[in-house]
């Protein structure tokens, strides 16, 4: 019976990895030491640059884990590239504002562009709760800012908080934000 469960788990895991889907049930928290620290200097540097020195840079590492499993060669079925899974057109827009972001396939510039883009999304939310603002930023990164606005209009609430907006978002986006939160052990 135990062997049968292990075999079924292995098959499910293999099928998920074939589709470039990361199974959240095998995730280790970002602080666990199970993830490489190879890119940490970039996460630290660009988190500090775009969010300030007191912001926990691990949130962006967790986002990269959710996006690519920290695989710098990752490419999605829709063409998103790198650790932060940035679309080439989005990178083109970002690099107009930051011409020194020279290559989308460079882990350094991919991380820098992803965190910069997070900052542009973060600034769009006019709410006071920092955590809610961060969750909506990640949701916007995944589903698009317009979808988050549409969902927030459906709540009928003045102060838009994550738990009110979440049910109106696609299940993929809800899972994406939940996964980042689990990776940070925040859920």
The Cα 160–Cα 144 span in angstroms is: 17
DSSP state of 166: G
- Please report the pLDDT score of residue 111 as a whole number: 98
- Please report the pLDDT score of residue 185 as a whole number: 87
Query: What residues contact 78, with CB distance under 8 A and at least 6 apart?
Result: 87
pLDDT tens digit sequence for 150-173: 998 898 766 678 999 999 999 999
Percent of the chain with pLDDT over 70: 83
Per-state percent for the chain, helix, strand, coil, to nearest 5: 60, 0, 35
Half-sphere exposure of 157 (CA within 13 A, CB side): 13
Task: Provide the pLDDT confidence category of residue 2 given band limits of 50, 70 and 90.
Answer: low
Domain count within the chain: 1
The Cα 75–Cα 176 span in angstroms is: 17
- 99: domain CATH number is 1.10.530.10
pTM of the shown model:
0.83
Provide φ and ψ at 86, rounded to 5°: -100, 135
The Cα 170–Cα 52 span in angstroms is: 31
Q: How many CB atoms lie within 10 A of CB 4?
A: 8
What's the token pair of residue 103? 């290559």
The Cα 60–Cα 184 span in angstroms is: 10
Q: Which domain holds residue 80?
A: 2-183
Q: In this structure, is the dihedral angle defined by the CA atoms of residues 49, 69, 150 and 165, taken in order, positive or negative?
A: negative
The Cα 89–Cα 79 span in angstroms is: 10
């Amino acid at each position: 019976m135990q062997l049968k469960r292990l075999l079924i788990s292995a098959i499910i895991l293999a099928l998920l990895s074939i589709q470039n889907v990361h199974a959240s049930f095998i995730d280790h928290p970002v602080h666990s030491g199970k993830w490489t620290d190879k890119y940490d200097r970039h996460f630290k540097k660009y988190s500090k640059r775009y969010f300030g020195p007191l912001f926990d840079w691990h949130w962006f590492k967790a986002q990269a884990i959710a996006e690519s499993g920290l695989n710098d060669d990752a490419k999605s079925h829709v063409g998103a590239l790198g650790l932060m899974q940035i679309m080439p057109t989005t990178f083109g827009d970002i690099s107009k504002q930051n011409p020194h972001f020279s290559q989308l396939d460079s882990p350094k510039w991919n991380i820098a562009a992803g965190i910069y883009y997070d900052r542009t999304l973060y600034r769009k939310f006019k709410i006071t709760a920092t955590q809610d603002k961060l969750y909506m930023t990640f949701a916007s990164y995944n589903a698009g800012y317009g979808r988050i606005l549409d969902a927030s209009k459906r709540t009928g609430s003045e102060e838009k908080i994550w738990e009110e907006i979440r049910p109106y978002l696609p299940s993929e986006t809800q899972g994406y934000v939940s996964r980042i939160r689990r990776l940070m052990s925040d859920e």
